[in-house]
Structure formats: C-alpha cells, structure tokens
Amino acid sequence: MQLTGNTILITGGTSGIGRGFAEAFHRLGNQVIVAGRRRALLDEVTAANPGMRAVELDIGDPAAIKAVAATLVSEFPALNVLFNNAGIMPFDDASGVIDDTVAQAILTTNLLGPIRMTSALIEHLKARPRATVINNTSVLAFLPLASTAVYSASKAALHAYTLAQRFMLRNTRVTVQEIAPPWVDTDLIRKSGDPRAMPLDAFIAETMAGLGTEAEEVVVEAVRSVRDNPGANEHAMVNAFNAALVADPIPV
C-alpha cells in the first residue's frame, strides 16, 4: 500500500498495536481516525496526537457498525483505508467447559467485527481511486496457543476469510493486506517486558516497512519460520510449542 496521502480508520486504535499503528500513520501525515468503545481513551489518544480524529464504536454491535460507517463516509469522503485491528484474547481451556458467552464475544469481536466493518464500507472503498483493507490476524492463526484455543481459531478463520476476500476483490481498486503479529509486548495479554515478546516499537517499524510494499501478507522476520509451518510436521510443532509454554507460562 501507499503509506502517505491516506484517510485511515483503525478499529481498536486506543491502545497497544492499534495505537502504535495509528501514531505511525499519523506521523507520516495521513488523516487517521481511531475507533474504540471508551470515550476517555479516544480523547487521550487524540489529545496526544493533534489532528487525529476519533469515533466511538462497539465493534460487537452490527447496528453501531452500520451507523458509524455511514457517518464516516459522510464526514470523511476521502476514507480509503480500513485497518481491522480490534480484538480480544481471553484465555480458555479446551479440555474442559468453554464459557459460551466468552467464546461468542471472541468470535464476534475478532471475526465478525472485521467482516461486518468491511461489509459496511466496501462499496465506498471500491469507489475510491485506491483503497486498502488491512486485517490483523495473528501468528497464532498458524501455530495455535492451546490456552487461547478460541482466540487462535478466530484468527485462523479471519486468515481464511482474508484469502477469500482478496481473491474476490482482485478486479477492483481495493487491495487486501494481512498482518500476523507475533507475541508483542502490549496489554492484550499483560505488558510485562517478557523477553519472549517483541517490543511494540520494533514490531510497528518492521510491519510498517512491509505494509509499504505490495506484499499480501506481512510477517516479521522473527516468526517467519512459524508462518511457514510445514503441513506434515504441524502437529509436532504445535505440541512442542505448547509444551514449552507449559514449562515457562505466559504471564497473565
């Protein structure tokens, strides 16, 4: 994608990876609109970044998505980039009872949110001279973390959707890029400074460089071998990965 001259909506843009990308695009002179549920956080981000705009949005509410999309098209007719970033990551135990309310919330936010948000804006984006949809999945789409089984599944599903979406948009002016972050040191789990987590600033810098190309999928070099997880060895790799985390758990 082109990294400048855009009007960009970033869902879940008030903290962590979302805020990191919002501020990176803002520094390049793009018009950035951050979306989130909490007005106080929206105000904090925009106050820290003069010129950035904000919109309240509950990504789990289909009616709210439609209403916000209509407002954005009216107030920001140059909108040409949708960055589907909002996500939640509760831990679970697939060997026992899964809380249905929590599972539905994960799928609604992480999978249906991007589907509904894109659907609400896609005709507008197709009318722009150039447009991009960015879907934030996860390296866990390819190497599931056993203690976040539903989250990992939601990201695998979004990856599959992204592949299909890209194909269906192939004859339009809308390109589709996917980012698949590793463990980044943010509050999505718990910001802890764990050396196994990639520092946020390093992740943003490397991923921005990738987004500035024609790459369909952007993965930081540190986890490229995970992304290239070979099919025949998948089970052994997943088991070894999770066994290592049982021995040295992620802090929650």
Distances in Å between the alpha carbon of 163 and those of 8, 42, 52, 93, 160?
Answer: 22, 31, 31, 29, 5
In the chain the beta strands, taken as DSSP E runs, fall at 7-11, 31-36, 53-56, 81-84, 131-136, 174-179, 217-218
CA 5 to chain centre: 21
Distances in Å between the alpha carbon of 82 and those of 6, 65, 128, 236?
Answer: 10, 13, 12, 37
| Residue 151 annotated among the catalytic residues of the structure | yes
User: Catalytic pick from 83, 151, 161, 183?
Assistant: 151
Task: Give the end-to-end CA distance of the chain in Å, rounded to a whole number.
Answer: 35
| Dihedral-angle region of residue 172 (phi above 0 means left; psi in -120 to 50 means alpha; beta otherwise) | beta
What SS3 state is found at 165?
helix
Q: Give the active site residues.
A: 151
